[in-house]
């Protein structure tokens, strides 16, 4: 896929194809108008790298719908072409909806051998807007917290019985999605593993409900989120929960987001990703 997009852009630059045709094909390759328009400035600045382009050559990707308490939830799904069944991983987006970056993270997880799915939390409000992604942040604040948690818990049930799933399901998420991952762990006894990235911790009294092994990533320069770690860890120990906590000194909040140069910390992101994949492969086998 990376080669196809690069070739498409080169043809466009050399005027071998019209802009209309270029945008249409780029939309096809990336899966949505929003993804295409988000990728376009990167292409134009000639600063594209391997982490920002989707690599779908070995994957099957599609948008799906699954049933949830508020109605149908839309999600982006990816899994390897080769193989019959895979352990499943839910990927939960940040507080800007299901953006192209999270779709890319979902592809990366699938390339590690998982059935990966990123639900769109904004599905009850019509979904993350493709033509104006900037509206997603405002829309996120309109969601009802209790209903949203239930919608993500429903994703666990959906993947438990999916024809391509082994029945083992993990969950990871970033920022808002990290906090939601913690809530899925609290509210879904069927979850097999949870990996929140710099996510706000659940209420102390809810820690006892967590059944899944937990691996939590935190940024050293993130005082607002980190203020809750001490009490969270104390309760995890008290409740004899299986957990690991990693702190990435020198990194800031959202250090995994390589579509945001101001936040991205390559060393921390790669180390955390390696630990995440290893954890899922161990707990979901």
Per-residue model confidence as pLDDT tens digits over 101-110: 999 999 999 9
Query: Which residues make Cβ contacts (< 8 Å) with residue 107, sequence separation at least 6?
Result: 54, 55, 56, 59, 61, 78, 116
Do residues 255 and 226 share a domain?
yes
Do residues 157 and 268 share a domain?
yes
Could you tell me which residue, 44 or 100, shows the higher pLDDT? 100
pLDDT at 28: 77
User: Average pLDDT of 48-72?
Assistant: 79
Query: Which residues make Cβ contacts (< 8 Å) with residue 186, sequence separation at least 6?
Result: 202, 206, 207, 209, 210
Could you tell me which residue, 179 or 9, shows the higher pLDDT? 179
Weakest-pLDDT range from 96-105, 113-122, 232-241: 96-105
Do residues 31 and 161 share a domain?
no
Confidence check: pLDDT of 53 > 60:
no
Q: What are the tens digits of pLDDT across the range 168-206? A: 999 999 999 999 999 999 999 999 999 999 999 999 999
User: Average pLDDT of 115-128?
Assistant: 97
Confidence check: pLDDT of 128 > 80:
yes
Residue pair 110/59 in contact by the 8 Å Cβ criterion: yes
Confidence grade of residue 45 (pLDDT, cut at 50, 70, 90): low
pTM of the entire predicted model = 0.83
Do residues 69 and 44 share a domain?
no
Confidence grade of residue 46 (pLDDT, cut at 50, 70, 90): low
Total number of domains in the chain: 2
Do residues 150 and 21 share a domain?
no
Residue pair 104/148 in contact by the 8 Å Cβ criterion: no
Do residues 67 and 27 share a domain?
no
Strands 86-92 and 115-119: parallel
Do residues 182 and 143 share a domain?
yes
Residue pair 151/75 in contact by the 8 Å Cβ criterion: no
Query: Considering 20, 37, 53, which residue would you say is the last residue of a domain?
Result: 53
Confidence check: pLDDT of 4 > 80:
no
Q: What is the CATH number of the domain that holds 192?
A: 3.40.50.1820
Do residues 49 and 63 share a domain?
no
First to last CA, the chain: 29
Weakest-pLDDT range from 6-20, 52-66, 185-199, 270-284: 6-20
Q: Where are the alpha helices (DSSP H) in 112-228?
A: 136-140, 145-160, 176-187, 223-226
Do residues 62 and 49 share a domain?
no
**Containing structural domain, residue 1:** 1-53
């Amino acid at each position: 896929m990376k080669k196809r997009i690069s070739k498409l852009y080169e043809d466009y630059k050399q005027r071998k194809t019209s802009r209309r045709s270029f945008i249409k094909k780029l939309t096809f390759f990336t899966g949505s108008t929003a993804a295409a328009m988000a990728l376009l400035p990167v292409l134009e600045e000639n600063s594209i790298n391997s982490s920002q382009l989707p690599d779908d050559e070995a994957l099957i990707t599609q948008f799906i719908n699954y049933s949830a308490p508020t109605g149908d939830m839309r999600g982006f799904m990816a899994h390897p072409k080769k193989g019959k069944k895979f352990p499943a991983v839910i990927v939960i987006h940040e507080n800007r909806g299901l953006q192209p970056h999270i779709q890319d993270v979902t592809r990366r997880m699938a390339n590690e051998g998982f059935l990966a799915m990123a639900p769109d939390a904004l599905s009850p409000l019509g979904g993350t807007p493709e033509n104006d992604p900037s509206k997603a942040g405002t829309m996120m604040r309109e969601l009802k917290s209790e209903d949203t948690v239930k919608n993500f818990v429903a994703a666990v049930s959906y993947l438990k019985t999916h024809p391509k799933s082994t029945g083992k399901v993990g969950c990871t998420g970033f920022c808002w999605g990290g906090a939601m991952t913690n809530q899925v762990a609290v509210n879904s006894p069927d979850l097999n593993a949870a990996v929140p990235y710099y996510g706000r911790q659940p209420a102390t009294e809810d820690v006892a409900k967590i059944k899944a092994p937990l691996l939590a990533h935190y940024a050293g320069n993130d005082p607002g989120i980190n203020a809750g770690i001490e009490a969270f860890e104390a309760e995890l120990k008290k409740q004899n929960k299986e957990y690991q906590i990693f702190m990435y000194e020198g990194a800031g909040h959202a250090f995994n987001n390589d579509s945001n140069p101001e936040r991205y910390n390559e060393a921390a992101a790669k180390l955390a990703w390696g630990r995440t994949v290893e954890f899922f492969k161990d707990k979901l086998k």
